[in-house]
Amino acid sequence: MKATAKAHTNIALIKYWGKRDESLILPMNNSLSLTLDGFYTTTTAEFREDLTADRFHLNDRLVDGTEYQRVTAFLDRIRRAAGRPDVFADIHSTNHVPTAAGFASSASGFAALAAAAAKAIGLQVTDPELSMLTRQGSGSACRSIYGGFVEWEKGTKADGSDSYAVPIAPKDHWDLRVAAVVLSSSEKKILSREGMKRTVETSPFYPAWVDNIPDDLAAIKQGISQKDFEKVGEIAEANCLRMHATTLAASPPFSYWHSTTMAIMQAVQDLRVSGVPAFFTIDAGPNVKVLYLPEQEKIIRNTLQEIPGVHDVTVSRPGEGVSYI
């Protein structure tokens, strides 16, 4: 009744932004991501007959409050699926995500938790089933089941049985690099969950966001298969800007950007003008991720590190999907 799993985080090139079902975590639109090797979570789950409640340790610290509630509510789903409502688990997770790296550790965290808990309780699941299960813990986490380039199909069914991730290209397909640029002050004020909800409910730009997704997806998939860096970068950057534009039109309006966020965006666009291909993408926070090719590593690092307000730059390559230890 014990298992350990490892899962990496992922960065969306076509963003998941907006839910059609809050409780099952069903998205309004398909999204597409790259799993990264630099940041991961390892989780050991042990179901024990003698426990009367779940226990969750994160980085060797016993967790309570809303973080614990989220984990135990997710374990309830696993217990139900396995037909074992009576057993509770001892969970030990370690996040290998540099402090405040600006990555939702929830992506690697829920993927590792779902994989370890399903295996420990004896639930036989296929990869699509594991992705579906993971989705109900954290949406973007369902893409971390696979390595390399991954698409999350939104599905159309009300029960969510066709909303899961599918692999598009393995990690060895293309040696892209992603620099995670961490800002000195990176406090995230509006959680992605709240930000999405407000945008879906109030932003007149939101329907345009949804309408545009199929075009972006078709084009980026073609770019990935042809390893066309300009095409993939241009689409990813434009898609990120469209997502952030929806928040500016929400009521009340909001933005995840700081002044340093914009300084980094400007620096990346200046690099392009000077002939260095690089593109940015930004999630529901102020930190920026920069896409580039291996031969530009030095100039990208040097440029980003020199920007005032930048605290740290960490480089990732394409990473692998869930594994068991």
The residues that touch ligand PMV, with contacts defined as CB under 6 A, are 12, 15-16, 31, 104, 106, 138-140, 192-193, 283-284
Q: Which is nearer to ligand PMV, 219 or 240 (CB)?
A: 240
Q: Which is nearer to ligand PMV, 15 or 258 (CB)?
A: 15
* CA gap 298, 313 in Å, rounded: 12
Closest distance of CB 221 from ligand PMV, Å: 16
Closest distance of CB 180 from ligand PMV, Å: 13
Closest distance of CB 281 from ligand PMV, Å: 9
Following CA atoms 174, 175, 179, 180 in sequence, which dihedral angle do they give, to the nearest 10 degrees?
60
Q: Where are the beta strands (DSSP E) in 61-138?
A: 61-62, 88-96
Closest distance of CB 313 from ligand PMV, Å: 20
* CA gap 168, 232 in Å, rounded: 14
Q: Which is nearer to ligand PMV, 88 or 149 (CB)?
A: 149
Q: Which is nearer to ligand PMV, 4 or 281 (CB)?
A: 281
Closest distance of CB 216 from ligand PMV, Å: 13
Which residues neighbour 126 within 8 Å (Cβ) at sequence distance 6 or greater? none
Q: Which is nearer to ligand PMV, 112 or 120 (CB)?
A: 112
The helix (run of H) or strand (run of E) holding residue 138 is none
Is residue 21 within 8 Å of 145, Cβ to Cβ? no
Per-state percent for the chain, helix, strand, coil, to nearest 5 = 40, 25, 35
Closest distance of CB 87 from ligand PMV, Å: 28
Q: Which is nearer to ligand PMV, 54 or 283 (CB)?
A: 283
Helix H, strand E, coil C: the string for 176-213 is CEEEEEEECCCCCCCCHHHHHHHHHHHCCCHHHHHHHH
